Amino acid sequence: MKKEQNKEYRVKSLDVYKQNQEKKERKANNSQNSRTNQTAKPNTEQEHMGSIRQSVKPKRSKNNRKKTDIRKDEKNRETPSIKKSKTKKNKKKSKASRKLLILNTALISSAAGILFLLIMLMNRYSVISELKYDINAQERALNELRNKKREIQVQIEHSNRTDFIERTAREQLFMEYPTEEETIYIRVD
C-alpha cells in the first residue's frame, strides 16, 4: 500500500516538475522573442529611443537564461522524494564512513602503540645486554685480581718459612754462619 502511494507521489511530483520546467522554457522563449521584436525598426522616434534604452541595458531575469542553463538546472534538480531517499542513503553512507574512520583510527593508534612498546622493549633489552656485558667484564677482572692475591699469599707463606730464608740468604746474599773465631761473647754481670 505504502509502496503504491510512494510510486503515485513520485509520478505526480515528476509530472509537476516537468510542467514547471515547460512553463519556464515558454517564458524564456517569450522573452527571447520579445527581444527580437524590440530590435526590429521602430515606427516612431519615441519607440526608437525606448528600444535603444532597452538594447543598452537589457533586463536580466531568471527567464532570460539560455536553454543550456535550463537543461543543466533540470539535471541538477530532483524531486523531493528522490532527494529524501538520497539523503537517507547519504546518511547511511556517512554513518558507515564514520564507523570506518573510527575503526581505522583505532587500528592505526593501536598499531602505533604496539610499535612504540616494541621499540621501548628492544631499547631496554639492548641496555640490559650492554650492562650484562660490562658486569661480565668486571667479574673477569675481579677473578684475575683474586687469583693474584692468592698467589701473593702463597708466596708470603712460603717466604716466612726459615728454610726458605736461610737458602735465599746463602744463594742470593752469599751469607754464611759465623765461625767460632768470628763469634764474640759478651759478659753481663
* pLDDT at residue 14, rounded to an integer: 66
Q: How confident is the model at residue 9 (pLDDT cuts 50, 70, 90)?
A: low
Work out the average pLDDT over 121-132: 95
Q: Of all residues in the chain, what percent carry a pLDDT higher than 70?
A: 61
User: Does residue 106 have a pLDDT over 70?
Assistant: yes
Assign 147 to helix, strand or coil.
Answer: helix
Integer Cα distance of 4 and 47 in angstroms:
58
Choose from 39-53, 87-101, 167-181 the range with maximum mean pLDDT. 167-181
Integer Cα distance of 79 and 71 in angstroms:
15
Q: Where are the domains of the chain?
A: 1-77
Work out the average pLDDT over 163-186: 88
Integer Cα distance of 58 and 35 in angstroms:
9
* Alpha-helical segments (H) within the chain: 2-39, 45-56, 67-76, 80-159, 162-171
Q: How does pLDDT run across 45-65, given as a tens digit for each residue?
A: 555 555 544 554 445 455 555
Neighbours of 28 (CB within 10 A): 19
**Is residue 79 a contact partner of residue 8, using CB atoms and an 8 Å limit?**
no
Residue 121 grid cell: 622493549
Work out the average pLDDT over 119-135: 96
Per the listing, cell 522563449 goes with 29
* pLDDT at residue 137, rounded to an integer: 96
- Rounded to two decimals, the pTM is 0.35
* pLDDT at residue 110, rounded to an integer: 96
